[in-house]
Amino acid sequence: MKLVFTGDLLLGDQPLLLGMGIQSRYRRNYSPVFDDFCGWFKTLGADALVVNCEGVLVEDVLAFPPYERATKAPLEALALLRGLDTPVLVSVANNHSMEYGPEAFANMRRLLEAGGFRVLGLKDRPAEFIRTAETTVGVLAFSTVPALYGCEPGYLYVPPEDGASVEKLLELVRQSRSQCDYLVVYPHWGTEFMTEPNRTQRELAARLVEAGACMIVGAHPHVTQAAYRVSEAPVYYSLGNLVSDYPLKGMNKSAVVVAEFGKDNFTSMTRPFDADAACRIRCCGEESMVLSSPRSDWPDDESYFKEGSTRRRNVRNEMLAYLLRHLPKALCNFPLIAWMARRAWFLAVNRRQLSRDPNSIYSGPIH
């Protein structure tokens, strides 16, 4: 059995690109984005594709609520993937899937299921299983990243500092492993823009492998992170963004894991992908990640946090510089101007809180 795992699919306009991002460019026809990827996928003879949809899928981008468009995309964005004639597993366990509230989340779940996709990472169904005559592979998804939009997550949220939540996750891993020959864990975790895993990721990875995960494939940081073997299990901490409209260097590069599961063992390898200025993705080479032994010189938490804060600030500055280069277009874009005004107010009022906890940025105006 052969499975393909990707990183994040950011199919809606990013907040600072409202009116200029991927959804505004392609509307309901994302074929140019996925054409090359689907052509490559068909050559593999794979049995399933696993993706993480980071955002909210809707019938109409002006729904839930009508005045916001950021991170929304129509279900038709996944039309080419639906036409692959192979199961497509879509994880909704990420910090943007609840951005427009529980009603929009439930609607997205209904749309995906009615469209023939298999949804995983749900609070009530975190895992899905792919079966052939010889092998059964399970995929279990969850997120450690908070969705601070004022509502209870409909996906499996595991705050890593909460021991009881982590224990429940490990029990789910053990239960899922008992139902299959191989279990792959697909977490949404880590620190944005960092190319090495943080301490929480590393510690949780070790416990997931101990509980029964044969492989871990992660996302969320928007860049690829280094891959390591943990007790012989391959751990791909972050595959980056397969699809996004970030116009910044490094965020248009990602990796895809191709894993082949046999009766007695399995193998995995990665392929590098990148995207052009129009967000069209393509395979751009051979093996892109080499599995290494864990380092012995990990940075301490304080140094790691400082570097993460610096990288986040640099990305924000690069995005603002991009906007300034496209100022005439931005000034004619009312949704962007309205969002920026609300966001600036939130950042000003909460600057002290944000300096202590960067994740609290997600509790601001819908973005």
Instruction: Give the residue numbers spanning the domain of 320.
Output: 301-363
* Domain end point (choices 248, 283, 318): 283
* Domain end point (choices 227, 254, 283): 283
User: pLDDT category, 125, cuts 50, 70, 90?
Assistant: very high
List of long-range contacts for 160-169, beta carbons under 8 Å, 24+ apart: 160/189, 160/200, 160/203, 160/204, 166/204, 166/207, 169/142, 169/208
- The two structure tokens encoding residue 198: 């943080």
Whether 194 and 75 map to the same domain: the answer is: yes
Query: Could you count the other beta carbons within 10 Å of the beta carbon of residue 109?
Result: 20
Q: What pLDDT is stored for residue 367 in this prediction?
A: 45
* pTM confidence score: 0.92
Whether 126 and 270 map to the same domain: the answer is: yes
Residue where the block lists tokens 């007695």: 264
**Is 41 among the domain residues?**
yes
Whether 138 and 235 map to the same domain: the answer is: yes
Could you say which DSSP state residue 287 is in?
Answer: -
| Mean pLDDT of the region 33-62 | 96
Whether 26 and 118 map to the same domain: the answer is: yes
Say if CB 177 and CB 208 are below 8 A apart: no
**Is 347 among the domain residues?**
yes
Say if CB 209 and CB 184 are below 8 A apart: no
| Mean pLDDT of the region 159-181 | 97
Domain tally for the chain? Answer: 2
* 337-365 pLDDT, tens digit each: 777 787 788 778 877 777 777 666 655 55
Whether 272 and 305 map to the same domain: the answer is: no
| Mean pLDDT of the region 83-109 | 94
Q: What pLDDT is stored for residue 186 in this prediction?
A: 98
Q: What pLDDT is stored for residue 290 in this prediction?
A: 85
* 54-76 pLDDT, tens digit each: 999 999 998 887 777 889 999 99
Say if CB 247 and CB 232 are below 8 A apart: no
> What does the radius of gyration of the chain's CA atoms come to, in whole angstroms?
19
Query: In the predicted model, what is the mean pLDDT of the chain?
Result: 91
Q: What pLDDT is stored for residue 206 in this prediction?
A: 98
- The two structure tokens encoding residue 109: 């779940």
Burial class (CB in 10 A: 0-12, 13-18, 19+), 115: middle
* 248-298 pLDDT, tens digit each: 877 889 999 999 999 999 999 999 999 999 999 999 888 778 899 999 999
Say if CB 51 and CB 81 are below 8 A apart: yes
Nearest-angstrom CA–CA distance, 298 and 296: 6
What three-state secondary structure class fits 26? helix
The more confident residue out of 122 and 60 is 122
Q: What pLDDT is stored for residue 260 in this prediction?
A: 98
Per the rule left: phi > 0, alpha: psi between -120 and 50, beta: everything else, 150 is left
**Is 291 among the domain residues?**
no
Whether 264 and 338 map to the same domain: the answer is: no
* 187-234 pLDDT, tens digit each: 999 999 999 999 999 999 999 999 999 999 999 999 999 999 999 999
